[in-house]
Amino acid sequence: MLYNFAYRDYRARYAQTLLGYGWAIIQPIMAAAVLFFLFRNLLKVETQGVAFLSFTFSGLLFWNYFAFVLSQSSASLISAQSMLQKIYFPRIILPLSKGLLGLVELSITLVLFLFIAFADAQLKPLGLLSFIPLIIGVLAAAWGLGLWLSALSIRYRDLQQALPFLLQMLFFISPIAYSPALVQERLPESVQALYYLNPISGILELFRAALFNLEYHPQAWLSILVAFFLFISGWWYFHRVERKIADLI
């Protein structure tokens, strides 16, 4: 069922679109162009000695997947409410299937990133081994938040309106187009751990450390713990309310 739901959404996602899968290429390229103009040209931010495009695409690689899975999974129950009221199946399949759906665009963005990083000649090939465990951490965080929001949105529909704002805030406080040192230098040491409560912050820092042979803050590992805490707690809460979903929706 998990595969079938993901395949159904995969077929419908680009149906009747002129560019089709081209959107999976256009979107990260346009995002990188905007970030280049804003952060590189206007703000002159440092990227730890890594070429700006390689640095930014390594961030977009993880961020785009996180944002896609979170936004899709959080709305999965509401968008399928007519089906939920007619037949029974494990409700958790709906938000979890969005993780598989996002793998298509993730793969395309990964190819773009590898092309740019190899062109810049700054990539450490062995560092790519860190991609799979770290992307699992991103998926755990996105699924965890998605499970929480999908279950809570049944009662509180305002959460769906607040989600785009939440994603915008997370985007700008995540080191996608700037060095995490920029934030760490401006935070007192006593509260620097709060920065890594955002799972994307530490995961990106660890990935770049492996990929570009950079230093990372030891507290970056806290982001991994937060990601799996979100997943475990989201799974627990979703199962707690699962029996009531068809009645509440």
* pLDDT tens string 115-156: 888 887 677 888 889 999 999 999 999 999 999 998 888 888
* pLDDT tens string 44-103: 788 888 888 889 989 999 999 999 999 999 988 887 777 776 777 778 888 898 888 888
Task: Find the domain containing 60 and state its range.
Answer: 2-248
Residue 16 is predicted with a pLDDT of 58
Residue 85 Cα to chain centre, angstroms: 30
Residue 70 is predicted with a pLDDT of 94
Nearest Cα residue to 99 out of 77, 53, 124, 67: 67
Angstrom distance (rounded) from CA 91 to CA 93: 5
Contact 201, 207 (CB under 8 A): no
Residue 203 is predicted with a pLDDT of 95
pTM (2 d.p.): 0.89
Residue 56 Cα to chain centre, angstroms: 14
The single-letter DSSP state of residue 243 is G
Ordered DSSP codes for 45-85: ---TTS-HHHHHHHHHHHHHHHHHHHHHHHTHHHHTHHHHT
Ordered DSSP codes for 179-225: -THHHHTTS-GGGHHHHTTSHHHHHHHHHHHHHHT----GGGHHHHH
Tell me: pLDDT of 9 over 80.
no
Nearest Cα residue to 183 out of 57, 28, 48: 48
Angstrom distance (rounded) from CA 234 to CA 74: 11
Total residue count of the chain as it appears in this document: 249
Residue 20 is predicted with a pLDDT of 61
Total domains, the chain: 1
Residue 62 is predicted with a pLDDT of 94
Tell me: pLDDT of 227 over 90.
yes
Q: How far apart are the first and last CA of the chain?
A: 21
